[in-house]
Amino acid sequence: MIENHFIELIRQENVEIMTDVEMKNHTSFRIGGKADAMCEVKDIHSLRAVILLCKVHHVPYFILGMGSNLLVSDKGIDGLVVKLGGAFCEIALTEENTLRAGAGCSLAKLCVFAKNMSLGGLEFAWGIPGSVGGAVYMNAGAYDGEMKQVVAAVDYMDSKGNVKRAHREDLDLSYRHSLFTDTDNIILSATFLLAPKSQGDIQERMTELMERRKAKQPINHPSAGSVFKRPEGAYAAALIEDCGLKGFSLGGAQVSPKHAGFIVNDNGASAQDVLDLIAHIQEVVREKKDIDLCCEVRFVGRK
Ligand SMILES: Cc1cc2nc3c(=O)[nH]c(=O)nc-3n(C[C@H](O)[C@H](O)[C@H](O)COP(=O)(O)OP(=O)(O)OC[C@H]3O[C@@H](n4cnc5c(N)ncnc54)[C@H](O)[C@@H]3O)c2cc1C
């Protein structure tokens, strides 16, 4: 529960805030109960004011990107969900071959901007849903590319409202992991070091990778992408398929018949349906293959 007084204080900062927000409308899984409140901040000043108010009033906060890697609890989220809008969605060419993108900007917009500037390196990210902040947080990657290869620095805000900069070597980027994983730090923007490339060549690679995605992934069904991380020396999807679980469903959640690494919300699935299906897959794969599958999708909200 959030007190009305807190809501008023946020509004006094000229920040739009809504209460009892259905998270299923803010996740690619189309799953999730109500968050106590959600606000959208448009600049660093408002973000700092909101974070400091949360601290003083003991309100937990959660930074939402585009909700494409999340499974939100049916019981919703305690406290305030914060989205980055306004100035956080801007992109600029800052130096030769260098772009800075706000954390709220979509990866898709960034890829198109880079292409229009004839800068290559981000083609792998074309088709990965989500925001720049979410991509850095997750070290998102595909088709032999990952954020680690192109991010030169990240500006972030710590839980006290201080703005700091971390350079590539300090970002601790590894498979679906970054310096920001499980911390309160908020990614504000990322600087990308790219390389000159013709727009035609960039477009060709982007189109090729999108075609591969469309052929292999259930992109027209609600999901959060690959549910499990790639285990050492194996592919989660192949293991799940080998165990005969492709197409298997529990409640409204189904192992995608197109790609066994994805769980799709095919029939009004609850978060519990997905959790039960994940637990079942993990149990079967452990039994039959002696391999532990770890989740890539992040579970958020009330237990
Ligand atoms: C169809 C489909 C295909 C996908 N394909 C891929 C793929 O090929 N490769 C891949 O890596 N992923 C893939 N994903 C997963 C997902 O798109 C990525 O993980 C993406 O980077 C998540 O970004 P987001 O903005 O949606 O983050 P969210 O899902 O909103 O959040 C993810 C985490 O990042 C944190 N976060 C977000 N923004 C910030 C910020 N500004 N500061 C601090 N923390 C922040 C959140 O708190 C949360 O913990 C796919 C998902 C779908 C639905």
Question: What does the pLDDT profile of the chain (303 residues) look like in tens digits?
Answer: 899 999 999 999 999 999 999 999 999 999 999 999 999 999 999 999 999 999 999 999 999 999 999 999 999 999 999 999 999 999 999 999 999 999 999 999 999 999 999 999 999 999 999 999 999 999 999 999 999 999 999 999 999 999 999 999 999 999 999 999 999 999 999 999 999 999 999 999 999 999 999 999 999 999 999 999 999 999 999 999 999 999 999 999 999 999 999 999 998 999 999 999 999 999 999 999 999 999 999 999 999
For residues 61 and 130, membership in a common domain is answered with no
The verdict on whether 16 is a catalytic residue reads: no
What is the Å distance from ligand 1's center to 66 Cα? 7
**Cβ of 178 below 6 Å from ligand 1:** no
Distance CA 126, CA 108 (A): 6
In Å, how far are 2, 103, 117, 174, 218 from 155, measured between CA atoms? Answer: 30, 9, 23, 18, 34
Ligand 1 center–CA 119 separation, angstroms: 23
Q: What pTM did the predictor assign?
A: 0.97
- Given 73, 178, 226, 270, the catalytic residue: 226
Instruction: Note whether 114 and 75 are same-domain residues.
Output: no
> What atom of ligand 1 comes closest to residue 84's alpha carbon?
41
Is there a single domain that holds both residue 163 and residue 254? no
Q: Is 39 contained in some domain?
A: yes
User: Which atom of ligand 1 is closest in space to residue 68's alpha carbon?
Assistant: 26
Among the listed residues 48, 100, 176, 205, the single catalytic one is 176
Q: Is 28 in the pocket of ligand 1 (CB under 6 A)?
A: yes
189 is a domain residue:
yes
- My answer on whether 249 and 289 are in the same domain is yes
Residue 242: inside a domain, yes or no?
yes
Strand, coil or helix: 164: strand
CATH for 284: 3.90.78.10
Distance, CA of 135 to CA of 69 (rounded, Å):
10
Q: Is residue 136 one of the residues assigned to a domain? A: yes
Same domain for 192 and 227, yes or no, is no
**The 77-84 sheet, strands edge to edge:** 16-22, 34-41, 77-84, 61-64
Residue 39, ligand 1, Cβ within 6 A? no
Cβ proximity of 240 and 248 under 8 Å: no
C-alpha 65 – ligand 1 centre gap (Å):
7
Q: Phi then psi for 44, rounded to 5 degrees?
A: -65, -35
Q: Is the CB of 298 under 6 A from ligand 1?
A: yes
Specify the CATH number for the domain of residue 185: 3.30.465.10
Closest CA to 253 of 242, 267, 240, 241: 267
CA of 174 to the centre of ligand 1 (A): 15
Active-site residue, 223 included: no
| Residue to mutate, 138, 259, 295, ligand 1, most ligand atoms under 8 Å from C-beta | 138
Q: Which of 32, 62, 84 is the last residue of a domain?
A: 84
Look up 213 and say whether it is catalytic. no
With respect to residue 188, please indicate whether it lies within any of the assigned structural domains: yes
Asked if the structure places residue 212 within a domain, the reply is: no
**243 and 184, same structural domain?**
no
- The last residue of one of the domains, among 27, 59, 84, is 84
- Total tally of structural domains belonging to the chain: 3
**What is the domain extent for residue 154?**
89-202
Atom 51 in ligand 1: residue holding the nearest Cα? 225
Could you tell me if residue 186 is inside a domain?
Answer: yes
pLDDT, tens only, 149-162 = 999 999 999 999 99
Residue in 210, 212, 216, 223 with CA at minimum distance from that of residue 278: 223
pLDDT digits (tens, 9 = 90+) for 102-158: 999 999 999 999 999 999 999 999 999 999 999 999 999 999 999 999 999 999 999
Is 192 found in the same domain as 114? yes
| 58 and 126 co-located in one domain | no
State the closest ligand 1 atom to the C-alpha of 103, by its place in the atom list counted from 1: 41
From the CB of 227, is ligand 1 less than 6 Å away? no
Q: Is residue 208 part of a domain?
A: no
Q: Do 117 and 49 belong to one domain?
A: no
Closest Cα to atom 21, ligand 1: which residue? 135
129 Cβ closer than 6 Å to some ligand 1 atom: yes
